Amino acid sequence: MKSNDEFYIGYFPKAPKSIAKWIMTSVIILVISIAILSLLQARNQENLQANNFEFGKITELTGILQTTPVPNLVIHNGQDINGNDLFQSVLLIGLGKFGSDSLVSFFKNKIDLPLNQTEVTLRGTLIYSDGKTLLELTEEENALVKSVPLDSSITISSKKIGRIELNGEMIDSKCYFGVMNPGYGKPHRSCAIRCVSGGIPPVFWSTTEDKATQYYIVLGKNGEAINQQVLPYIADPICIKGEVYQYLDWHIIQTDIENEITAKGCSGF
Amino acid sequence: MSATYQPVLWNRQKKIYDWVMFGLIILFLAIFIGVSLVLFGDKITGETLIIRAFGSLAITMLHIILMIGPLARLNKKFLPLLYNRRHLGVTMFFMASIHGVFSILQFHSMGDINPLVSLFTSNVNYATLAEFPFQVLGFFSLIILFLMAATSHDFWLKNLSPKVWKTLHLLVYLAYAMLIFHVMLGVIQLEKSPLIVILLGIGMLTVIGLHLAAGYRQKQLGYLKEQVEKDGFVKVCTPDDIEDNRAKLVHLNGESIAIFKYENKLSAINNFCKHQNGSLSEGKFVNGCITCPWHGYQYLAHNGSSPPPFTEKVATYHLQLIDNEIWVNPTPEPEGTAIEPVLL
Amino acid sequence: MILSLQKRHRLIWTVFAIVLPLLFVWSYLSIPTTANNPTIEDYSLLPIVHNGIENDDFRIIERKIELEFDINYQLEFIVKKPIRQAATLIFIGENEADIKDKAPIGQLFSKGNYSFPLFDPLQKNDNIYLYNPITKKVFYTIKNNSITPIQ
């Protein structure tokens, strides 16, 4: 009956010996368990992306401002050995969870000449991942540094590739390519919905069996923005069908939102 | 044993408890952040790291908190962990809030609608399991944890009554269930590693198993095999069945009675401590008082009253000793009524 | 705990013991997965491999195209890991200073395959430089001596 003699009273200065020993052992087990649990949970973060958001660093980019297919700045990276122009399209994004449509319209009105006869310099924060680059117009209306008339006008157009059917996921371009990590999947869904709702271009990403990744800016069947209509499909595995265009380094998919997006995998696979 | 609003009545044991708790929290965070930075430092962002570290910490702490109650009921040596459990609960709430606030800022702020409206309306697939808006589960759990943390002080316990307070605090089980699915329908859908699902599964089954084991063991305590009754008194046991300074629990006519043997005397008082309804029959007669095993509240054996200046009182019961058998009258006397102890 | 509360505890945990594991398993089984898409390119139709290099980041293959009166070369770049640069140009030259006067052979973007025509096959002293025109820095160098025939 001796073991039952000991009785713990919290406000006494010391706990009885056998109880103190028991608790000591429990605490040691707890320390080991906590260390292991923390280690296992920390290791289990396999889906982080190689993203960059140069927060706090402003970069100036010079190029041709375009309002379609989505607001973007076409930068000229010189010519290759065959004399072909090397263009790259940098998507323009607003501050926070907003697109840049209204800002770009504001700049367009400020520039007297047509956009394809003007070279503009924009300031902002670079966002980039997996070869795709975006510029957050962090200083909003002050992001336009200057505009200089060009000697001749430049035509930049999309090239039609054909119809395609793809498995993948639709995300918001700002978070996916840099601001959040990871910027896809269920935990990020609400945020992606908020961003697309705020005008950030939705992008469909898909992978092929040989591990290549493709990105498609999602537009309506007539090339119009369909941000509000795609919200129910964001960050879910879907199958999308549509007409694919090449716009510089981006693909564009023009889809009929009513009939060509399904929540299940594509029937063809 | 204070009912005025004093922040915390500090004592050595509570300080040790809190230091160990903070030590473990720092250990968890240090390992989580350290390992994340070593393995993924080139990718992970500060906000993601904070959200993940504090979320993982909070769910781990909640499992530990929920295991303490049944462990203490299964083995009294765990009672010191129960003594200051609410500091653990309140601290866990703060850890979970860091996770919650950062998540709302990160995922819902700076957008086209109010962040709290966004929380409920951005993902509206409430009718499906796989696509269920798991963040809402986390939000309501946090509200419950807030209510519990806010009312954790004895001031609220006293003013709401232990029964209402304990019932309110049962909501933690609802919060726990919601949090399991906050994790399962949230981050597990991204990080599909079976290891982490197994860990959560083991945690859940352990919590459930311990509660069931403690619950069904307690159910068997304090019931007589047969009820022999004479003149309003019921035969319980012999004095030898009770250890010195300890008690025998008996449930009779809806009353739970603790019969104490101390200083060669016998007294019977109501089993439930006025503080948090701790089981006094699992307590001990210490320094002239029956002492509750949970937080050390004390009662005089002959009248069920806390010694002055304290004011807690429990009901008392009449005892008889006939032919070396203890008989108890299950009709309670008003709380604090003095009854002459039975001499052995 | 008073008896009614004890009973309530038992009830709650008995219900939990049945419902939570079932929902848990159901939640795990219902995790949606995204399917891959078939590969579009047919590698068997590509020209023969001349030489190349493979590391964790890239697989670079120099291909030889034998035409009736001519031999052409092309450089195929397979980007295996996402490139963490805002813009990427590929230069071929003997040293970093050398590439300032040269034109790039092309640009790289997302993970996947890229092919660029070459005027001449890679020379003994040629290195491959990946250059970021925004930061104006070479961020990746592939030394020629690491380029060996591969299959």
- pLDDT tens for chain A, 269 residues long, are 344 578 888 888 888 889 999 999 999 999 999 999 999 999 999 889 989 999 999 999 999 999 989 999 999 999 999 899 999 999 999 999 999 999 999 999 999 899 999 999 999 999 999 999 999 999 999 999 999 999 988 889 899 999 999 999 999 999 999 899 899 999 999 999 999 999 999 999 999 888 889 999 999 999 999 999 999 999 999 999 999 999 999 999 999 998 899 887 777 65
CB nearest to A187's CB, from B190, B293, B296: B190
Examine residue C142 and state whether it is found in any structural domain, yes or no: yes
**Residue range C92-117, pLDDT digits in tens:** 988 888 888 889 999 999 999 999 98
Residue B219 to residue C8, Cβ atoms within 8 A: no
What is the per-residue pLDDT for B343?
92
What is the per-residue pLDDT for B74?
94
Q: Check if C22 contacts B (Cβ < 8 Å).
A: no
Q: Are residues B125 and B207 in the same domain?
A: yes
**Mutation to test the A interface, candidates B122, B193, B195, most A Cβ within 10 Å:** B122
What is the pLDDT tens value at each position of chain C, 151 positions in all? 788 888 999 999 999 999 999 999 999 999 988 778 887 666 656 666 667 788 889 988 888 877 777 778 888 899 999 999 999 999 998 888 888 888 999 999 999 999 998 888 888 788 899 999 999 999 999 887 666 555 4
Give residue A191's Cα distance to chain centre: 10
**Chain A: residue whose CA lies nearest to B117:** A194
Q: Are residues B21 and B169 in the same domain?
A: yes
Q: Check if A77 contacts C (Cβ < 8 Å).
A: yes
Q: Check if C38 contacts B (Cβ < 8 Å).
A: no
C-alpha span between A93 and A165 (Å, rounded): 28
Return the CATH number at B280: 2.102.10.10
What is the per-residue pLDDT for C118?
86
Q: Are residues B74 and B158 in the same domain?
A: yes
Q: Burial-class residue A163 by CB neighbours within 10 Å (0-12, 13-18, 19+).
A: exposed
Residue A140: Cβ within 10 Å count: 16
Q: Could you say which of B163, B190, B220 is where a domain stops?
A: B220
Q: Are residues B56 and B139 in the same domain?
A: yes
ipTM strictly over 0.90?
Answer: yes
Return the CATH number at C52: 2.60.40
First to last CA, chain C: 75
Provide the domain count of chain C: 1
Residue B223: Cβ within 10 Å count: 11
**Chain C: residue whose CA lies nearest to B252:** C3
| Edge-to-edge strand list for the sheet holding C48-54 | C48-54, C58-66, C71-79, C112-118
Examine residue C73 and state whether it is found in any structural domain, yes or no: yes
More confident residue, B273 or A264: B273
Q: Are residues B144 and B287 in the same domain?
A: no
In CATH, the number for domain A159-262 is: 2.40.50
Provide the domain count of chain B: 2
C-alpha span between A57 and B35 (Å, rounded): 28
3-state secondary structure chain A: CHHHHCCCCCCCCCCCHHHHHHHHHHHHHHHHHHHHHHHHHHHCCCCCCCEEECCCCCEEEEEEEECCCCCEEEEEEEECCCCCEEEEEEEEECCCCCECHHHHHHHHHHCCCCHHHEEEEEEEEEEEECCEEEEECCCHHHCEEEEEECCCCCCCCCEEEEEEEEEEEEEEHHHHHHHCCCCCCHHHHHHHHHHHHCCCCEEEEEEECCCCEEEEEEEECCCCCCHHHHHHHECCEEEEEEEEEEECCEEEEEECCCCCEECCCCCCC
**Residue range A18-57, pLDDT digits in tens:** 999 999 999 999 999 999 999 999 999 988 998 999 999 9
Examine residue B2 and state whether it is found in any structural domain, yes or no: no
Q: Are residues B45 and B176 in the same domain?
A: yes
Distances (CA, A) of B28 to A34, B65, C18: 6, 16, 31
C-alpha span between B195 and B202 (Å, rounded): 10
Q: Are residues B237 and B93 in the same domain?
A: no
What is the per-residue pLDDT for B11?
84
Q: Which residues of B touch A180 (CB under 8 A)?
A: 45, 48, 106
**Burial readout B224-259 (b: 16 or more C-beta within 10 A, e: otherwise):** eeeeeeeeebbbbeebeebeebbbbbbebeebbbbb
C-alpha span between B154 and B146 (Å, rounded): 16
Examine residue C85 and state whether it is found in any structural domain, yes or no: yes
Q: Are residues B163 and B312 in the same domain?
A: no
What mean pLDDT value characterizes chain B? 93
Examine residue B157 and state whether it is found in any structural domain, yes or no: yes
The domain spans of chain A are 51-149, 159-262
What is the per-residue pLDDT for C146?
66
Examine residue C1 and state whether it is found in any structural domain, yes or no: no
B14 phi, psi to nearest 5 deg: -65, -40
Cis peptide before A69 (omega within 30 of 0): yes
Q: Are residues B249 and B206 in the same domain?
A: no
SS3 C7: helix
**Residue range B137-183, pLDDT digits in tens:** 999 999 999 999 999 988 888 898 888 888 888 999 999 999 999 99
Instruction: Say how many CB pairs under 8 Å bridge A and B.
Output: 181
Residue C2 to residue B277, Cβ atoms within 8 A: yes
Residue B32 to residue A41, Cβ atoms within 8 A: yes
